Structure 1
Amino acid sequence: MRAVVQRVTEASVTVEDETVGQIGHGFLVLLGVGQDDTEADADYLAQKIVGLRVFEDDAGKMNRGLLDVGGELLVVSQFTLWGDCRKGRRPSFVAAAPPEKADPLYQHFVSAARSAGVTVATGRFRAEMQVSLINDGPVTLLLDSRKEF
């Protein structure tokens, strides 16, 4: 499972001119599910992201986590994180999980984050979405449950 995590002051996701998810201060998480991912991958990434200490403390150091600052998550599914661009000009998505596997794992990730005490908003799985954000910092991190990068 892969995630792009952006620290934001606000973020929202829109489907067909309707805002379906919106947060203030926190993380926008673009989440991609791979062929071999399991619930253990979703649990690992949810805990890792909730625990990331990238919010400033009183000394101005990145030392506080999402729960410390009362931050929220906006989680948006994005299978293109599994796009392989090493050959040619058109990405291959064969490593991405099919929707019938990806959706339950995406939902499991959301549930795991909520169980950790975080307010979580979401996009709409398999929908064409427009994502808006104000990146704070900017702080952007790449995470992989298999620790491939």
Structure 2
Amino acid sequence: MRVAASLGILLLVGCGSAPPPAPAHAEQEAIAGAPRAMPEAGASVIRRAMLDEVLEAGLGQFLQRIGTEPDLRDGRFVGFRVVELRDEALFAGLDLAPGDTIVQVNGQGIERPEHAYTVWTGLRVASELTIVVLRGEERRELRFPIVD
């Protein structure tokens, strides 16, 4: 199951700005290593129970695991370009690399921090995680059904 990898993508939606403030205990868990929900090799679904664990750990934890920058083309925001994957295990098995640009998550543009929050909270009831990525000029769509 690619839970951690596909949810790791979600953290990109807020990387252009600071995450919402987290309670002190959440920051300590992030530093100590909160639930990782590592994927099972070869699977392509997200288990609801594992998703809930990851969501409870908070968006801030994910924002610490990847470096991004805004991707501007002709002065227009396109998405967030991946600069660095700081947690290789988190992204193992997912076709994501530095230079890729995350354009949408679950049909939402990701230009503003409130978009990240909307996507993040929407995962509590979503039936699928869909991520649109640009690699150069090639558009890719990654889909991960969320199952009980």
Q: TM-score range by the shorter chain?
A: under 0.3
**TM-score of the two chains, using structure 2 as the length reference:** 0.24
Q: Kindly name which structure, 1 or 2, has the bigger radius of gyration based on alpha carbons.
A: 1
Which has the larger helix fraction? 2
Considering Cα pairs closer than 8 Å and 6+ residues apart, tell me whether 1 or 2 has the greater RCO. 1
